[in-house]
Amino acid sequence: MKMNGTTLKIAAAAVVIVGILFWGLTSIGSKSFSGANLNFGANAGPITVTNPSDSPVDVQMVGTGSRGFSVVSAVEGLAGTSAKQGTGTTTTQLLEFKLPAGTSEFTVVKGTDVKFVTTSPTVLQAIVAPMTSDSVRSTLLFTLAVVVISLFFMSYVTDHAWINMIRGKAAVPAYMPIANTDTAQGATIRAFGDNRKHD
């Protein structure tokens, strides 16, 4: 198949659209975890954990390095600031709390490579959002902008052919059908002039 310049430009724009949509969807997609002895990383977005038991579960939030972090939550007993553990290269940050029964939501602020760790046999369900609601909104707007620009570029390189197609389909016919004036009484009587020869 022969590829001309216009075809290549359209193909490149289509690749950009597919790529940005894939990036946008994967960037805002949440991750789910389920089971006992959960161990997963926290991101900038909120973490929702469901404790199906009637008893609280011991949880450790562990971060690497000397930089502390905080946990913010509307649930009583979950908010707090990490404490430094160890020295030198073995330095970590630790925050312990008891996860109450039911569904709890909290967010990790700052910190480096913070993980949610529990050794409880209770099977927990967790959903981890990758970013804050403001970041999700910005990502969606950026994705939409790139898609719109790419579509406009595709339209531009084809001289907006799709507009002409729409106009062609919506155009009024250049002729109007002639109404049939014949009735059941037969053909219309026509008068002719007197062509008889006079002396």
Count other Cβ atoms within 10 Å, centred on residue 59: 23
User: To 5 degrees, how large is the angle CA 67–CA 69–CA 73?
Assistant: 175
> For the chain, what percent of residues have pLDDT higher than 90?
53
> How close are the terminal C-alpha atoms of the chain, in Å?
84
Overall pTM > 0.85: no
- Judge whether residue 153 has pLDDT over 70: yes
Q: Where are the domains of the chain?
A: 1-29+133-161, 30-129
CA distance 126 to 59: 13
Residue-level pLDDT at 182: 56
Question: Which residue type occupies 30?
Answer: S
Quick one: pLDDT at residue 3? 57
Query: What Rg value do the Cα atoms of the chain yield, rounded?
Result: 36
Residue pointed to by tokens 């926290």: 42
pLDDT of residue 195: 56
Q: What is the pLDDT of residues 178-187, one digit of tens each?
A: 555 555 555 5
Q: Which fold has domain 30-129?
A: Jelly Rolls (2.60.120)
What single string gives the DSSP state of each residue in 68-93?
-EEEE-SSTTT-EE-EEESSGGG-EE
Residue 139 confidence (pLDDT): 92
With 60 as the cut, is the pLDDT of residue 34 above it? yes
pLDDT of residue 1: 43
Which of the listed ranges 101-105, 169-173, 187-191 does the model predict with the highest average pLDDT? 101-105
Residue type, 153: F
The mean pLDDT value of the chain amounts to 84
Residue 125's nearest CA partner among 73, 53, 28, 26 is 53
pLDDT value for 199: 52
What percent of the chain has pLDDT above 70? 82
CA torsion, points 27, 49, 69, 31, in degrees to nearest 10? -20
